[in-house]
A = this chain, B = another copy of it.
Amino acid sequence: MRSFCSFIRTASTKQNSLPRQTIRSFTASTQNNRFQVPQFKSPPPAMTTTTLKGQPFDRPVLDSMLRRRMFYTPSFEIYGGVAGLYDYGPPGCALQSNVIEIWRKHFVLEEDMLEVDCTALTPEEVLKTSGHVDKFADWMCKDPKNGEILRADHFVEAVLEARLKGDKDARGIKVEEKEEDPKKKKKKVKNTEAVKLEDAVVKEYEEILARIDNYDGEALGKLIKDHDLKNPVTGVQPSPPVAFNLMFQTAIGPSSNAPGYLRPETAQGQFLNFAKLLEFNQQQMPFASASIGKSFRNEISPRAGLLRVREFLMAEIEHYVDPEGGKKHARFNDIKDVKVRLLNRHVQLAGQTTIEEMTIGKAVSNGTVDNETLGYFLARIQQFLFKIGVDPSKTRFRQHMANEMAHYAADCWDAELQTSYGWIECVGCADRSAYDLTVHAKKTGAPLMVRERLETPITIEEWQIDLDKKKFGPHFKKDGKTVEAAVEALPQDKREALAQDLQLDGKIKIEVDGVGNGTVEISKELIQIGRKTKTVNTREFTPNVIEPSFGIGRILYALIEHNYWTRGNEGGDEARGVLSFPPPVAPTKVLLVPLSSHESFKPIVNRMSRKLRSIGVSTKTDDSSASIGKRYSRNDELGTPLGITVDFQSVKDGSFTLRDRDSTKQVRADEEKILKAIKELAEGSKVWADIEKELPAFEGQEAEIPVLTKKD
């Protein structure tokens, strides 16, 4: 069960806002972690979000702008829509592909990673081995009256919160309304009657809510019974919670006996190709594979826009490293001075949320971060996030608590970005030890390991088995090979025990699947087990995996919030939205604005547009009849960083004004200089301040217009 394992961070008190505002792990990090309930909660009322310019943040206004400008839109809306499915419109799609391009350059190209593209369709056996078939589930209950399906923890939470609200109403305490989707709100309001509760009951409810993520299905069922929690819609108690697997199931091929699933993460395809990738890498370690692709999770109740969806883009890296030698990283020195904001597990254990800022070099040397390779990726993740325009003051790395992680995991940190929904996990970075390769190797017999030639051979002492092949074959006949393989596979500790059996009983019994009744007896005439030394030239090991895992949709949403602000309009209209994306990620780089629909502008606009495209800069022309100001503010909402006005001066002398979205300042220069400036800004090699120093400012308000119009 995702919700099965308990973990401390949600057991801390509700006053500690941390657990209540952390969206968990779409990005799988550890074995337990992969199967936990996502911790999505509304932000606590105390938390105020501000825009890039420190203005109060108004989410409904931003949401409406994003839909109006088609950053994203509910899928199949004309058919009524499907919860948790969104389409990206042109600006969202361009933003996404720019972020992916930067990701690919920053990680795959820079680090020489081996990118693979694996299928989303996955046969059941693979996900059975990985644990998803048995454990990737949430608890759900059904309303026996109307058949409504409820996510058990969400349901308990909603009813108790409604009762607490009713209590506060009865006590005359003003409650700040939380934002919820309209449907939910309706239900809640309907159910919120002002009923005063006993003080002890209030305390009990608050305690339950604080640890809501710790209850398993049975415990949630008990809560529903004990507190007589009823569905406000029907007035009846829902059925006891049952496990609901979150993978989409289908059948691969024409016969229905080949069940398959849509992958819930992109990691498994990479693990399965490990041996081929190692071969491709000419057997050299360490190395990393990477993958960008869609994953699918059948959430019971998707919410919060792009943050909890049923189909989403992930970018995952699996870095394979030798577990011996402290997991050093050859390029650690390059990033050791990068400062990171860390929320370590000790601070969380103490119920605090204090962020410590330190260099990653120090964090590794003082043991806060487990090893260099993990530290290296934390720094590289942060560099990537800052490069695309995430706000450093709204970024932190939160370490997983010891009991959030599986027993085999060495360490795990989430890059969390602060939004109006709280701190959201956008990148997970876990040291998964040798777990994944080991389970798949064990299941399939594939050699998912590294064989390394030792510089100096070593001598080891071990329990060796010698079979008397002459007698062994004839004795077991057709089963000979099978029994021999089972004998060879016996681990050292088992061999030691069997050596004693052989001495005592003159025979041993071992289990061999598919031979006789599954147990085979071998007498000392056929087998000898003894302690012997041997010289070893190679070393075999299963690499450990460091897994940075990016939820692209969440990153995009946080990026949008971090770069959003509003510009007061001098004319007195309502404030206008601006998205101050860095030029390299902006969906469109340049807006071309002819001053009017005058014929003389057209060839110039077309030429500029062609030239910009030929140097790889995306442009948009707005030759509508709207005022220049209106056309620019329309594109401020799209995050277009630069604007070129084509005016009569351009016709006359070939000069253009270039406008900066954020400052609205303009410079004027000839075509060549303007194109050069745009290219440098779009690539990110210069910023606007550089350009302002190089090119003359333009303050004029198109004074030449009347003169030229007359002449024309």
Binding site for B on A (CB under 8 A): 69-70, 73, 75-79, 82-83, 85-90, 92-94, 96-97, 104-105, 109-110, 112, 114-123, 125-126, 140, 147, 149, 244, 248-255, 258, 260, 262, 269, 272-273, 275-277, 279-280, 282, 294, 296, 298, 300, 310-311, 440, 443-444, 446, 448, 613, 616, 618, 620, 624
The CA-CA distance from A395 to B87 in the complex, in Å, is: 35
Complex contacts, A149 vs chain B, CB 8 Å: 253-255
One of B88, B119, B444, B620 near A78 (C-beta < 8 A): B444
Query: Helix, strand, loop or mixed for chain A's interface?
Result: mixed
Q: Please, which residue of chain B has its CB at the minimum distance from the CB of A257? A: B147
**CB-based contact B272/A311 at 8 Å:** no
Copies of chain A in the complex: 2
One of B70, B86, B277, B443 near A119 (C-beta < 8 A): B86
Min distance, Cβ A10 to any Cβ of chain B, angstroms: 23
**CB-based contact A613/B109 at 8 Å:** yes
One of B116, B119, B310, B444 near A89 (C-beta < 8 A): B116
Complex contacts, A253 vs chain B, CB 8 Å: 82-83, 149, 298, 300
**CB-based contact B620/A85 at 8 Å:** no
The CA-CA distance from A97 to B291 in the complex, in Å, is: 12
**CB-based contact B440/A75 at 8 Å:** no
**CB-based contact A262/B277 at 8 Å:** no
14 pairs, CB–CB < 8 Å, chain A vs chain B:
A70-B277, A78-B272, A79-B126, A82-B121, A82-B260, A86-B119, A94-B115, A109-B613, A147-B255, A149-B254, A248-B251, A249-B250, A250-B250, A254-B298
Complex contacts, A448 vs chain B, CB 8 Å: 78
Complex contacts, A250 vs chain B, CB 8 Å: 248-250, 262
Complex contacts, A76 vs chain B, CB 8 Å: 122-123, 126, 272
**CB-based contact A311/B123 at 8 Å:** no
The CA-CA distance from A73 to B289 in the complex, in Å, is: 15
Complex contacts, A93 vs chain B, CB 8 Å: 115-117
| Known contacts A105-B616, A250-B250, A310-B252; is-contact A119 B280 (Cβ 8 Å) | no
Q: Please, which residue of chain B has its CB at the minimum distance from the CB of A73? A: B276
Q: Please, which residue of chain B has its CB at the minimum distance from the CB of A621? A: B112
**CB-based contact B277/A140 at 8 Å:** no
**CB-based contact A119/B272 at 8 Å:** no
Most B Cβ at <10 Å: residue of A77, A89, A260, A279: A89
Q: Please, which residue of chain B has its CB at the minimum distance from the CB of A85? A: B119
Which 5 A/B pairs are nearest by Cβ-Cβ distance? A78-B446, A88-B117, A87-B118, A90-B114, A78-B444
**CB-based contact A120/B298 at 8 Å:** no
Min distance, Cβ A493 to any Cβ of chain B, angstroms: 27
Complex contacts, A620 vs chain B, CB 8 Å: 112
The CA-CA distance from A205 to B92 in the complex, in Å, is: 56
**CB-based contact A276/B117 at 8 Å:** no
Min distance, Cβ A587 to any Cβ of chain B, angstroms: 10
**CB-based contact B117/A92 at 8 Å:** yes
Beyond A79-B443, A83-B253, 20 additional pairs, beta carbon < 8 A: A70-B279, A75-B272, A76-B272, A78-B440, A78-B444, A79-B123, A82-B121, A82-B253, A82-B258, A82-B260, A88-B117, A89-B114, A89-B273, A89-B276, A93-B116, A94-B115, A97-B104, A244-B254, A248-B252, A254-B298
Complex contacts, A126 vs chain B, CB 8 Å: 76, 79
One of B90, B114, B119, B258 near A115 (C-beta < 8 A): B90
The CA-CA distance from A275 to B77 in the complex, in Å, is: 11
**CB-based contact B87/A116 at 8 Å:** yes
One of B69, B94, B97, B120 near A311 (C-beta < 8 A): B120
Q: Please, which residue of chain B has its CB at the minimum distance from the CB of A100? A: B97
Min distance, Cβ A706 to any Cβ of chain B, angstroms: 29
**CB-based contact B277/A89 at 8 Å:** yes
Complex contacts, A251 vs chain B, CB 8 Å: 248-249, 298
Min distance, Cβ A229 to any Cβ of chain B, angstroms: 19
The CA-CA distance from A119 to B115 in the complex, in Å, is: 23
The CA-CA distance from A273 to B89 in the complex, in Å, is: 9
Min distance, Cβ A586 to any Cβ of chain B, angstroms: 14
**CB-based contact A118/B75 at 8 Å:** yes
**CB-based contact B121/A296 at 8 Å:** yes
Complex contacts, A444 vs chain B, CB 8 Å: 78-79
Min distance, Cβ A619 to any Cβ of chain B, angstroms: 9
**CB-based contact A117/B105 at 8 Å:** no
| Known contacts A121-B296, A250-B250, A311-B120; is-contact A280 B85 (Cβ 8 Å) | no
